[in-house]
Amino acid sequence: MPYRKPIHAGQSPLTSVPTTSRSSSKGGGQAAERSGAGAQEPPRRRVLLLNNTFEPLTALPLRRAVVLVVCGKAEVVHGDAAGLVLHSATTTVEVPSVIRLSNFVRVPYRGRVPLSRAALMLRDGHRCAYCSARAETIDHVVPRSRGGSHSWENCVACCAKCNRRKADKTLNELGWTLSVAPKAPRGRNWRLLAGSSDPDPLWLPYLNTAA
Ligand SMILES: [Zn+2]
């Protein structure tokens, strides 16, 4: 067992945190996102919330995740990689990285995933679409100067070398091809990562990013 470094939950005991979450069958996933409890959170500490079926639902502030666990509405699937625990007056809770709801919640499908650098790199596996070297930038397949759009269908991850060579040329002019036509990723899993440049590695097995 690794050494477990205790951290403290501050002045208020865990049980004093208001809980507004619902694990009933109606709108639970949305309720889980209506979090107003972010103010006291360490800014980057989020916890991946899985449905009862292990489908990812959202990323929660740590405090709200701990409340779900303490109230018995969720269980810890993966604890913090460093083995952190939280103490209150009456209980000790493992700091979670991934938690799973005890009850299934139905979540409506949400539409198109916003294009971001982090999400695009994830879609393309951080590999250059032209040469498979490690990607460092984003390339517009049809250059923007030639009317190309800033869209999932016209953007690919790209290494610096290919990006310089490509410049304002089209693939036809260079004789280059793409092995896969770029397209928007589908599924709500992507929303969890679209704004996050360094997601917790413990989350990744639950996020189907290959789609
Ligand atoms: Zn390249």
Task: Tell me, yes or no, whether 163 lies in a domain.
Answer: yes
Of 56, 67, 61, 59, whose CA–CA distance to 22 is shortest? Answer: 67
> How sure is the predictor about 168, in pLDDT bands with cuts at 50, 70 and 90?
very high
Same domain, 97 and 134: no
Name residues whose C-beta falls within 8 Å of residue 64's C-beta, 6 or more positions apart in sequence: 17, 19, 21, 32, 35, 37, 47
What dihedral do alpha carbons 92, 93, 95, 97 form, nearest 10°?
170
* Per-residue model confidence as pLDDT tens digits over 37-54: 334 444 457 889 999 988
Total domain count for the chain?
2
Same domain, 153 and 138: yes
In the reported structure, the alpha carbon of residue 155 is separated from the centroid of ligand 1 by a whole-number distance in angstroms of: 14
In the reported structure, the alpha carbon of residue 137 is separated from the centroid of ligand 1 by a whole-number distance in angstroms of: 10
In the reported structure, the alpha carbon of residue 162 is separated from the centroid of ligand 1 by a whole-number distance in angstroms of: 4
Same domain, 90 and 137: no
Task: Tell me, yes or no, whether 57 lies in a domain.
Answer: yes
Structural domain span for residue 11: 6-110
CA distance 73 to 190: 25
Same domain, 77 and 104: yes
Round the CA-based radius of gyration of the chain to a whole number and report it.
21
Q: What is the mean pLDDT of residues 91-97?
A: 85
Residue 109: what pLDDT? 65
Of 75, 77, 76, 73, whose CA–CA distance to 24 is shortest? Answer: 73
Task: Tell me, yes or no, whether 145 lies in a domain.
Answer: yes
* Per-residue model confidence as pLDDT tens digits over 24-40: 334 333 333 333 333 44
Sheet holding 6-8, edge to edge: 6-8, 85-87, 92-94
Task: Tell me, yes or no, whether 20 lies in a domain.
Answer: yes
In the reported structure, the alpha carbon of residue 123 is separated from the centroid of ligand 1 by a whole-number distance in angstroms of: 16
- Tell me the helix, strand and coil percentages in the chain, rounded to 5: 25, 20, 55
Locate the DSSP E strands across the chain: 6-8, 46-50, 56-61, 74-79, 85-87, 92-94, 96-101, 137-140, 155-158
In the reported structure, the alpha carbon of residue 127 is separated from the centroid of ligand 1 by a whole-number distance in angstroms of: 8
Q: What's the pTM?
A: 0.50
* Per-residue model confidence as pLDDT tens digits over 59-83: 888 889 999 999 999 999 999 888 8
In the reported structure, the alpha carbon of residue 94 is separated from the centroid of ligand 1 by a whole-number distance in angstroms of: 43
* Per-residue model confidence as pLDDT tens digits over 125-138: 899 999 999 999 99
In the reported structure, the alpha carbon of residue 164 is separated from the centroid of ligand 1 by a whole-number distance in angstroms of: 9
Sheet holding 96-101, edge to edge: 56-61, 46-50, 96-101, 74-79
Task: Tell me, yes or no, whether 186 lies in a domain.
Answer: no
Same domain, 101 and 162: no
